[in-house]
Structure 1
Amino acid sequence: MKVYLFILSLFICGVSFAQSTISGSVVDATNQPIPGASIKIVGEAIGTVTDFDGNFTLSTQKNPPYVIEISSIGFASQKVNITSSSQKVAAQLSEEETRLNEIVVSASRTPERILESPVTIERMTLQEIKNTTSATYYDGLENLKEVHFNTSSLNFKSINTRGFATVANTRFMQLVDGMDNSSPALNFVLGNLIGLSELDVQSVELLPGASSALYGANAFNGILFMNSKSPFTHQGISFYSKYGQTSQKIAGDNDYWDFGIRAAHAFTKHFAAKVNFTYLRATEWIPADERSVSGGTIGHANNQNYDGLNIYGDEVTTFIPNVGQVSRTGYAEQDLNDNKLENVKFDASIHIKPWDDDFEIIATHKIGLGNTVYQGANRYRLENFRMQQSKLEIKNRNFFVRGYITTENAGDSYDMRFAAWNVNRSWKSDQEWFTNYATAYLNSSIFLGADATTASGIARNFADYNQVPAALTGILTPSTSPSRFMPGTPEFQNALEAVTADPDLRTGAKFKDESRIYHSDLNYNFKEIINIAEIQVGGSYRMYELNSDGTIFTDYDGPIRYKEYGAYTQLQKKFLAEERLKFTGSIRYDKSQNFDGQFSPRVSLVYSAGELKNHNFRASFQTGFRNPTTQDQYIGLDLGPFALIGSTPDNLSRYVETLNVSAQGQTFPGVGPTVTFTGADAYNNNLYTASSAALFAATQNPGVLEVANIALVKPEFVKAFEVGYKSVLENGLSVDLNAYYNIYDDFMSTSRVIKPYYGTVGTDFTDPEVQQSLQALANGDRRVYQVYTNTTETVNSLGFGVGLSKKVFGNYEVGVNYNHAQFEFDQSKDPSFIAGFNTPKHRVKASLSNTELFKNFGFGVNARWSDEYLWQSSFADGLIPAVTVFDAQITYAVPTIKSVFKLSGANIGGNDYLQVVGAGRIGQQYLIGWTINP
């Protein structure tokens, strides 16, 4: 905190050491001011930008003569000779078609024209960030080609490119100023929890394909790059504020607040600093899907074993002789948390340039904290969740060396399913509740002659509320335990608070996590030393430190640590006349402590045809691989209906559980009242597939049972073939075509398997030991495991995209794109494999915008359509319906106060729609915003 106060004091009390000051204005061909134009001294790092009136002031210690360069997106850059220390500059920039010359860095770790990128790449410009029709620029990423969102919460959106993604998208990376944004324990990105403020975003680039050759193990299905503004070139105090309402059928109409401020200053040409602060508060998209996971009708009135999708506590179920399978009464998710969302982000950085060149030292600290909901195997309320990143980086135009630490603290986070179970148990134990139910049911049948529906209603009222029908007075004795705690009452709230503060999942729901990632990487480009080609080398090192105190991982006796490292090289060279053919070749080697080392090659060719080199054809072959995540390796979590068991050998021996055997009054040789299993029992051969066991339960035909053959998890691989064409035609039409075909080997997935408490698994049903295993299944004496493994069968995916955009009728920008995606897998060869593709086969997006509809007014409209698709995850499966969404915004600039006002709406006039089975349906958002930029 002392560092933060020191930086803030510098902003307030800093003095200028400049020896000369130049000022001026920048306008376009119609003499309209160009706000945000960049002014930079050639050969120096120091610079500034124009204000809303197109005016600028640049202070420098450099004495004339020197040259400044003035540039802005959409205009040709201009250089001006400075001959006087108080010179007034009047620059007029001419428009140019910049789509030919936009520069991207992420595709090859070196600056190159976007048209010459060796792979598909998407870019969100500063203008698009400012004019997004979505509530935030991060939400606006959904309007990019290739991007599909999986929305778990209003403020937690997971980016999906090219399929095979759940909310926990471990196949996608997000780098913010070079730092991996993934949670150390969860191994996936929590949206923009610790990302950038829209005031500080300099560039956003997206690689939708495999990129392991340059970026390592988890660059499997895509990477998002977000880079922030330098305080040397973007100075001053910026501010934004948004207020509006969200509207959803379940949650109603609720306030939405979003506020941000950025302060940056270059005190000298050698020293600059900046701070950012943002705060968001809103109400959750409340999930309320009451479909029965266990089958049958909705509600306990006609289904005594009802298990509602977004109702928790009713997963606790047992078989009662002469009654049937019965579940406890549950609580709706909306009653198990306050449905309020918050996100606070703060970052501060110091930038030092010790010499008169581009050598720079950067020290950064970022913190993000807040409340949201994450959906994995269960639904988790992240309450006061906190992530921090601290980085030290040294770089210039040819190299960088950086090291950073990512830490997280789960705060008061908890599992909502366990919260419901243990709130129920806090007023009446499971054993007592089921005994009450059975007693009331059987007595109702015997003494009242009640049918099954009436008897189950009487039994539930007796077990839940100690209610005794008059006809059974003296026969049923009410329990001395209290009645069911009702949501909204002090008793319920007190019980919920106690349970969510208790990390013992037998009695509570809280999970602990203070895991860390230590990461360092470096890169050097020899382009100024070696002339025959552009050659780069680099490498990285990472150490995971898992620390959940046994609430997530099997780290009961202390943190678990493991390491990964990698190294790569890349060669780029242009051939033929006018350097029209560009070759890029890369290879990387990565080694994880728990797995064999892997090589990841990439080769691509780009040919630039046409007089202006504006017809660019590309073809590439690249590979990717993904190491099993921390959870794949080390989780050991009893979720009640099933247990999650990570599959590294040392993890299997650490997970131990003791389970009660019912045997339904029968006796079996060698079977006691309990059995003890370890994690190894989840991966041995004495298992049935869960799908075949479910079919056996429905048909009672043992011939449908299949023996599960589960191997320990290992890395997965993809071979990606891609072709593309990108051009801006003479008539101004921008064309972007791409097609890809991916071949996945050792594809990682989860499988559900069942281990009988007694007997031997097999298909010889004359064997007495096998018959015992069938009896165990019938008696409910079986353990369900969700295990992490690889399919032995090949998985393929393919897709293509078409993107078109053009300026029409002057300044109107029209765009449309289509994406097709599908996968291929022979399910009959591996029935237990769960693909989790979770991507629409067909998607269409369209946009219409004009930044100068008339003076100071602009507008934008976005439309998205996607067709119906199957959603698969460890929480729930189901169909996601087709949907059409319209977003729109209008802006009004007031240059005299350097402000822009924006009115925006998301999902305008649409119905609430679904992106994740089990999450809340997405409603509407209507906002008004005010932004001030210097």
Structure 2
Amino acid sequence: MMRTILLFVALVCGAFMYGQTQVSGVVVDQNNIPVPGANLLVEGTNEGAVTDFDGNFSLKTNVKPPFKLLVSSIGFSNTTVSVTSNNQKLKITLKEQQTQLDEIVISASRTPERLFESPVTVERFGLKEIKNTASADFYDGLENLKGVDINTNSLTFKAINTRGFATFANTRFMQLVDGMDNSTPALNFPIGNLVGMNEVDVQSVELLPGAASALYGANAFNGILFMRSKSPFDHTGISAYYKQGITSQDAAGDNTYRDLGIRVAHKFSDKFAAKVNFGWLKGTDWMAANYQGKPGTGANRDALGYDGYNVYGDEVSTNIRAASGGLGLVPDVVVSRTGYNERDLTDYNAESVKADWGLYFRPWANDFEIQYVGKVGTGTTIYQGTNRYNIDGFTQQQHKLELKNDNFFLRGYVVADSAGDSYDMVFTGININRSWKSDQQWFGEYIQTYVAQTLGGANDASAHAVARAVAETGRIQPGTPEFKAAFNKVISDPDFGTGSKFQDASKYYHADGNYNFSHLWDDIEVQVGGSYRRYSLNSFGTIYTDYDGNIDYTEFGAYTQLQKELELSDNIKLKLTGSIRYDKSEFFDGFLSPRISTGFTINNNHNIRGSFQTGFRNPTTQDLFIGLDAGRAILVGSAPENLDRYVRTYNVSASGQINYGQPATIEQSGGAAYNNSYTAASATAFAASENPADLQVANPGLVQPEKVTSYEIGYRGKLNKTTVDMSIYYNKYQDFISGELVLAPLYGQAGDNGLSIAAIANGDYKVYQTYNNSDADIDSYGGSIGISTKVLGNFDLSGNYTYTKQEFDQSKHPGFRTNFNTPEHKVKVGFGNTELFKNFGFNLAWRWSDTYYWQATFGDGTIPAYHTMDAQINYSLPKLKSTFKVGATNVLGEDYFTAIGTGYIGSMYYVSWTINNL
């Protein structure tokens, strides 16, 4: 009986194997060079294969000949070949695409479509661009796309933005990695690629500039960056790269730079595949050495009230006459304590360690897939917000479970972070100073010495010099054991009254889904979807006002989109798209975001598009719940329940006690910033004029969602070997969110024309940064044009120009800051050849930025115009499955900067070896 069963099984298996058709072969380009990673699909089925590094493939199918194979690869035109017999061997030649406009994008409409026909502007960065980028890595290479700004915070933290209105804390720009939001729960914005993607795992990058709330909800306001990774079903094997080089900067000199990554992926069967990635980068950060004094504090260190950009501890200052109780011998001047240079408070270590892994299950061996993805990354970098921060051992992890097929996805994920040993360098300097001598003692010694010197006949300058020298007696000097001990103690203390350490263990939970009904009917494509997010803030009271436990809140949204393509004639197609989304946060009223777009395609070579859309941005976690004394100002979020959570006790000046009967200390809550305050600009005017009429009551309203209405038209065209992509836009903002500096008197009520004015005059006030909406009319407009072509035979030449402009009357709103922070003009040019001769290519990328004004809480100032060039040459060895590259960024060697207070950007020189990167 058993023998019969085995015979039957053997016959069945033999019949099954006999019924299978096997096809093998190689895919090459027009120069007979293998094309790795090409996709082959049996027409009408989900069966297919992917070529290996040498372009070889082997495919088995139950379909009997004859049938057709659909062959595609990024950068090449699709082709179809016929299979006429079993065990047939094929050599398939793919032709290089004339343009990128034929490539497929997903971001614009949440459905695959040709870039040429997308209803809005989309920038794409694919495998070919990643391989040939002249930048040090793929993330930096995004800066060469038109309309894109990359502001360099530090070596490993770069902020991407489009169309203006951003600082390094760019909450108007979203970054998605395989559908997961890459913003940190604590900071509420993406931190570049510090804990992001591994270069050898990147499948494609798409960038959608401008508002996109109709499909992507809150915070899809200024643009979205989409990064997709490679599937282990399609890209198997081991891939790796290693880069070694130096960074070169005037301030820091030459320092070693290393970067490596490895990807391991395996397809166990048609039903199960897995992958794991690991990346490590280490270098020396761009040293910040801007010792110029901030406006109003003196240009250099000789100034009495000097407060240098990259000097910390000198933020502590006082009017010494007021501190002396109004003693006439003491001049009416502001004196600051002596600070420490930033280089004394950080080692400028730049490091990133990241890993991710994924399990992918296709239970029926078709397009339905269940996947679990985990990511964890830790890094050390410099971040500049209101102050400068050493982000040391910051960790972020993500875990995602997703169900998907070609028509739907449903995913849920959690993002959690930990601040590690991060600390505020400004408060580090302040509290090292205070650890050896209190402010009261230091200024007391200064005043006493100044008076004694003056009575002894010394002139003013000499009296001040001796007074500082006496007050500095015993100062802890950098490099000494005493300094190291004080430094370690301060950065380990989370109380900003005595320390500078950040603590955080915040997270958010997110779920979203989408269903595309296009497979059910042909007349019109309909999509529906939605999302839900719950924040759980936990900074232990160091960032937020979560002194007594986590702060939790939620938001959700739902949307639909209809898309219809009409063939008006043989040569003209019309594509209509309409979307609308409803979003609701538990703190605010719901909001509708519509988008309408249309596109005309003429002769398959010209496309004209137009769109109207709206966007909105919910106030961030910091806008709502921050409670942080940043030194220059106290940051207090404007959620109603947050106003009275931040409470501190302050000393009152002697004159306040004597003349106005005030107690020695007064307790003030953060709510005073919103209901008992003057504008900072008017207080400055009052200090100069001593005219109380100059004071203007602030009392800003509580923050509400920000809105934008955007209009855009564009054109894409293919003219022989030349492609053109251009667009213009106009944005109108409503309820623009920004910070406003206000002064809250410790006694009296703003506008009382009495006691509160005395409090301001006596220095009995606190400076707050509030979060609110402006009634200012703010508009922006601009445009960009990109042209790419072939010259001198097979050389690639591309260039783009971007114009960006805001309209805002600062004189009507002197205390309001838009943080536009982008040049009016930008020009970028690329020139290269992927096959100058066999296996050898090169690329050059030149960028020029116009002068612009940088505005942020850390500091304002003019950014001079600059230009920079990156270059690389590469050589492939197919036998070793390897590509070698020698490259340099900023080869012109002139250091430049993109924001006030950051380190100047120097040059990088490196060699790299990439193995088996399909």
Does residue 56 of structure 2 align to residue 56 of structure 1? yes
Does residue 657 of structure 2 align to residue 704 of structure 1? no
Does residue 765 of structure 2 align to residue 757 of structure 1? no
Contact 1:149–1:160 under 8 Å retained in 2: yes
Residue number in structure 1 paired with 2:8: none
Tell me how far 1:860 sits from its aligned partner: 0.5
Residues 662 and 849 of structure 1, relative CA distance in 2, 3 Å threshold: same
Residue among 418, 422, 437 paired with 2:431: 422
Matches within 5 A, 1:692-731: 692-729=682-719, 731=720
Matches within 5 A, 1:760-909: 760-762=749-751, 770-909=753-892
CA distance in 1, matches of 2:62, 2:177: 33
Residues 138 and 30 of structure 1, relative CA distance in 2, 3 Å threshold: closer
Does residue 578 of structure 2 align to residue 577 of structure 1? no
Number of residue pairs matched by the alignment: 888
Of residues 635-644 and 544-553 in structure 1, the stretch that sits farther from structure 2 once superposed is: 635-644
Residue number in structure 2 paired with 1:350: 359
1:535-558 deviation digits (Å, cap 9, x = unpaired): 000000000000001111010000
Residue number in structure 2 paired with 1:593: 586
CA distance in 1, matches of 2:43, 2:914: 31
Does residue 485 of structure 2 align to residue 491 of structure 1? no
Tell me how far 1:42 sits from its aligned partner: 4.6
SS at match of 1:133: coil
Residue number in structure 2 paired with 1:502: 493
Residue number in structure 2 paired with 1:272: 273
Tell me how far 1:21 sits from its aligned partner: 6.9
Contact 2:163–2:222 under 8 Å retained in 1: yes
Contact 1:863–1:884 under 8 Å retained in 2: yes
Does residue 79 of structure 2 align to residue 78 of structure 1? yes
CA distance in 2, matches of 1:306, 1:408: 37
Of residues 17-26 and 174-183 in structure 1, the stretch that sits farther from structure 2 once superposed is: 17-26
SS at match of 2:631: coil
CA distance in 1, matches of 2:554, 2:537: 12
CA distance in 1, matches of 2:216, 2:771: 24
Matches within 5 A, 1:204-215: 204-215=205-216
CA distance in 1, matches of 2:234, 2:120: 30
1:727-763 deviation digits (Å, cap 9, x = unpaired): 111x22111110000010001111000112233433x
Matched AA of 1:97: Q
CA distance in 2, matches of 1:119, 1:138: 23
Matched AA of 1:446: L
Contact 1:48–1:56 under 8 Å retained in 2: no
Matched AA of 1:620: S
Residue among 595, 599, 604 paired with 2:597: 604
Does residue 670 of structure 2 align to residue 679 of structure 1? yes
Residue number in structure 2 paired with 1:735: 724
Of residues 316-325 and 626-635 in structure 1, the stretch that sits farther from structure 2 once superposed is: 316-325
Of residues 772-781 and 237-246 in structure 1, the stretch that sits farther from structure 2 once superposed is: 772-781
Contact 1:170–1:188 under 8 Å retained in 2: yes
TM-score (norm 1): 0.92
Residues 382 and 21 of structure 1, relative CA distance in 2, 3 Å threshold: farther
Does residue 450 of structure 2 align to residue 454 of structure 1? no
Residue number in structure 1 paired with 2:133: 132
Matched AA of 1:909: L
Residue number in structure 2 paired with 1:330: 339
Matched AA of 1:143: N
CA distance in 2, matches of 1:805, 1:362: 38
Of residues 615-624 and 674-683 in structure 1, the stretch that sits farther from structure 2 once superposed is: 674-683
SS at match of 1:583: strand
Contact 1:382–1:412 under 8 Å retained in 2: yes
Matched AA of 2:725: D
Does residue 557 of structure 2 align to residue 566 of structure 1? yes
Contact 1:75–1:98 under 8 Å retained in 2: no
CA distance in 1, matches of 2:507, 2:297: 44
Tell me how far 1:294 sits from its aligned partner: 5.3
Matches within 5 A, 1:311-710: 311-321=311-321, 322-323=330-331, 324-447=333-456, 449-465=457-473, 483-575=474-566, 576-578=568-570, 580-610=573-603, 613-664=604-655, 667-684=658-675, 686-710=676-700
SS at match of 2:873: strand
SS at match of 1:218: coil
CA distance in 1, matches of 2:592, 2:249: 49
Matches within 5 A, 1:251-262: 251-262=252-263
Tell me how far 1:670 sits from its aligned partner: 4.3
Tell me how far 1:812 sits from its aligned partner: 0.7
Residue number in structure 1 paired with 2:6: none
Contact 2:710–2:730 under 8 Å retained in 1: yes
Matches within 5 A, 1:280-299: 280-293=281-294, 295-299=296-300
SS at match of 1:527: helix
CA distance in 1, matches of 2:421, 2:234: 40
CA distance in 1, matches of 2:804, 2:374: 39
1:606-661 deviation digits (Å, cap 9, x = unpaired): 01112xx2110011000000000000000011123310000011001211111111
1:853-894 deviation digits (Å, cap 9, x = unpaired): 111110111111111111111111001110111111111111
Matched AA of 1:433: W
Contact 2:37–2:234 under 8 Å retained in 1: no
1:323-367 deviation digits (Å, cap 9, x = unpaired): 432211101111111101100110000011111320011100001
Matched AA of 1:702: P
Q: Unaligned regions of 5+ residues in structure 1, if any?
A: 1-16, 466-482, 763-768
Matched AA of 2:260: F
Task: Report % sequence identity.
Answer: 56
Tell me how far 1:298 sits from its aligned partner: 3.8
Q: Unaligned regions of 5+ residues in structure 2, if any?
A: 1-16, 322-329
Matched AA of 2:745: P
Tell me how far 1:38 sits from its aligned partner: 3.0
CA distance in 2, matches of 1:417, 1:702: 33
CA distance in 1, matches of 2:391, 2:22: 50
CA RMSD of aligned residues (A): 1.9
SS at match of 1:633: helix
Of residues 221-230 and 371-380 in structure 1, the stretch that sits farther from structure 2 once superposed is: 371-380
1:659-695 deviation digits (Å, cap 9, x = unpaired): 11114476244411111111211101x3211012112
Tell me how far 1:787 sits from its aligned partner: 0.2
CA distance in 1, matches of 2:853, 2:285: 24
Residue number in structure 2 paired with 1:142: 143
Tell me how far 1:291 sits from its aligned partner: 1.6
CA distance in 2, matches of 1:657, 1:41: 71
Contact 1:304–1:325 under 8 Å retained in 2: yes
Matched AA of 1:604: S
Matched AA of 1:919: T
CA distance in 1, matches of 2:140, 2:518: 38
CA distance in 2, matches of 1:342, 1:503: 23
SS at match of 1:818: strand
Contact 2:656–2:759 under 8 Å retained in 1: no
Matched AA of 1:172: F
Matches within 5 A, 1:34-49: 34-42=35-43, 48-49=49-50
CA distance in 1, matches of 2:910, 2:196: 21
CA distance in 2, matches of 1:820, 1:886: 20
Residue number in structure 1 paired with 2:906: 923
Tell me how far 1:375 sits from its aligned partner: 1.0
SS at match of 1:232: coil
CA distance in 2, matches of 1:49, 1:427: 67
Tell me how far 1:831 sits from its aligned partner: 2.3
Residues 534 and 233 of structure 1, relative CA distance in 2, 3 Å threshold: same
Residues 529 and 624 of structure 1, relative CA distance in 2, 3 Å threshold: same
1:106-162 deviation digits (Å, cap 9, x = unpaired): 000011111111111100121001111111100111000010111111110001100
Contact 2:656–2:662 under 8 Å retained in 1: no
